[in-house]
Amino acid sequence: MARKKSKGNGQGSVYPRRNKDGKVTGYLGAYHGPAGKRRTVSAKSKSECERKLRVAMVDADKGLVFDAGTITVGQYLNNWLTGIKGTVRQRTWERYEQFVRVHLVPAFGGIKLGNLTRAHLKTLYASKTELSPTTIRHLHAAIHKALDEAVADNLVPRNVATNIKLPKMRKKEIHPLTPDQAKAFLVAARGDRYEALYVLAIYYGLRRGELLGLKWSDLQGDTMQVRRTMSEARVGRIEEEPKNGKGRRIELSEKALESLRSHRNQQVDSEYIFPSSTGTPTNSSNLMYRSFKPILKRAELPQIRFHDLRHTCATIRFMKGQHPKVVQELLGHASIAMTMDIYSHVIPGMGDDNGIMDDLS
């Protein structure tokens, strides 16, 4: 007995799909593309199949053909990872790879790319109760970016990751040192082989990777160029572009320059300003546990993160009245909105840079 079509006469056709026992397991919609080739869509329910069929036929009328064929989500994501390697920062690629391997492929890697739905993504996010809202957002950003490529390559008609409501991010707490605590820290750091590093961290808010990536060639007169960051990836320590893909120029005070001159007279021969004792790039864990944390302990200060020295720089500058735009550029934030969002609670006014940090040492 022939299968009954629910539609015909150029409107496309929807057929029930049955298993060997005759039970309906889904629906298949068939239509003809711009070149006359028969194409299909599928769905679990008849109404969803009809909806997908209508959308596909509208696209076909416009000359648009989306054909992911039999490629699965897992195959596509692994191909995508291969394609973007070298076009994004190594640490970023490693984070994408981990999301694909640990979360995305196990969840729906075997599903055909063309059959991936918003419901698949929403179900995945709801099930990841062990992940923070921030991690969920990073996971979503990865699949969204991958599916943007699938749309651009005409494999799928639209990005199903678009406009999915995500959990609200919890605002990260910052624990900057007070001006008196910052001064106590720098006093306790005197004589440490990384003393000058801490001066730059507190005075100018450089990130740890940026500090460890500094080279003497970056210092020109009283100006420091922040051109790279030292990242610790699976492949080892590597130089990468600074965060946001752009460097910045910092005018150093006389006290900062004096600290660097003293440091240069004592350090081993190396192109890096803050190398290890053998001249190689410093291991960030060694910096933390052999230098930073002991200094905090000697100064009887809270065991803050290294990144809180960056927050210390910003909060002191705002407390002294420096303009938010100046602080944004100093920190290398992508936008003034980012700076204001983090530090709005400590911005009393605006001013210039004259002597702001001079009373810390």
Which three-class secondary structure string do you get for 63-106?
A: CCCCCCCCCEHHHHHHHHHHHHCCCCCHHHHHHHHHHHHHHHHH
Instruction: State the Cα–Cα distance between residues 314 and 339, nearest whole angstrom.
Output: 9
Reading phi first (left if > 0) and then psi (alpha if -120 to 50, else beta), residue 76 is in: alpha
Beta bridge partners of 237: 232
Cα 313 from chain centroid (whole Å): 23
Look at residue 235 in the predicted model and tell me its pLDDT.
80
Domain boundaries, given as residue ranges, for the chain: 13-61, 73-152, 179-360
Look at residue 65 in the predicted model and tell me its pLDDT.
54
Q: What is the pLDDT of residues 323-338, one digit of tens each?
A: 999 999 999 998 999 8
Look at residue 145 in the predicted model and tell me its pLDDT.
96
CB neighbours of 266 closer than 8 A, spacing ≥ 6? 193
Look at residue 2 in the predicted model and tell me its pLDDT.
47
Instruction: State the Cα–Cα distance between residues 305 and 33, nearest whole angstrom.
Output: 59
Instruction: State the Cα–Cα distance between residues 181 and 45, nearest whole angstrom.
Output: 65
Instruction: State the Cα–Cα distance between residues 339 and 49, nearest whole angstrom.
Output: 48
Q: What is the pLDDT of residues 248-291, one digit of tens each?
A: 999 999 999 999 999 999 888 999 999 999 999 999 999 999 99
Q: Name the DSSP letter for residue 245.
A: G
Look at residue 76 in the predicted model and tell me its pLDDT.
93
Residue 105's CB is within 10 A of a number of other CB atoms, namely 17
> 73-152 domain in CATH 1.20.120?
no
Instruction: State the Cα–Cα distance between residues 245 and 137, nearest whole angstrom.
Output: 21
CATH number of 179-360: 1.10.443.10
Between the alpha carbon of residue 283 and those of residues 209, 232, 288, 290, the distances in Å are 10, 8, 9, 11
Look at residue 80 in the predicted model and tell me its pLDDT.
94
Q: Which residues of the chain have pLDDT under 70?
A: 1-11, 34-36, 62-69, 245, 348-356, 358, 361
Kindly report the CA angle at 128 between 150 and 68, in degrees rounded to 5? 20
Q: Which of 210, 342, 348, 357 is nearest to 273 (CA)?
A: 210
